[in-house]
Amino acid sequence: MKELIYNIPEALLVIFFVFLLSLVLDKLLGKYSAHFDADTSEIFRLLSNSQRTVLLLVALIMALGKLGFDVSALVAGLGLTGFALGFALKDAVSNLIAGVMIVIYQPCEIGQLIEVSGTKGTIVDINLRYLTMDTELGTCLIPNAMILNNKLTLFK
């Protein structure tokens, strides 16, 4: 019990420095995002939130290790949970990554007439999950992964 009390300042110091690192990375991402157009701001906000969450989780695990807790089972459990979530969310993550690539490379733009997977329409909106098109039959949501994985015809 005495060791636990003596290690509390070290654990708090670890959390404090990782929190500072997270703030610095957040500011750097904010400054770096200013060099890009407004369409990419979603990507930098996602990166900022993700790095903060991951770093604080790592800091918590490190602090628990400093306090003398056996964190190997926790780390193994988090690894298995991450694997299961990754497998369950692979389509959502695939669409998210495809959305980031679409925002960066801009193969098409809002108002453009396109055809993908046999669906022809005008692009109304592009976000990180799907592309919204107006077609003859109505509004159609196309997952971003489909845009990158299938033939895309751009009309002028």
CATH number of the domain where residue 15 is located: 1.10.287
Number of structural domains, the chain? 2
Same domain, 66 and 21: yes
Residue 8 lies in a domain: yes
Same domain, 77 and 46: yes
Q: Which domain holds residue 140?
A: 108-155
- pLDDT exceeds 80 at position 102: yes
Same domain, 18 and 68: yes
- pLDDT exceeds 80 at position 2: no
For position 4, what pLDDT does the model report? 73
Same domain, 6 and 81: yes
pTM surpassing 0.85?
no
Residue 101 lies in a domain: no
Residue 97 lies in a domain: no
How many CA atoms are closer than 13 Å to the CA of 32, on its beta-carbon side? 12
Same domain, 12 and 73: yes
> Under DSSP, is residue 34 helix (H, G, I), strand (E, B) or coil?
coil
Same domain, 47 and 84: yes
Same domain, 75 and 141: no
- C-alpha distances in angstroms, 80 versus 2, 53, 83, 84, 87? 33, 18, 5, 6, 11
- pLDDT exceeds 90 at position 148: no
| Eight-state DSSP code of residue 128 | S
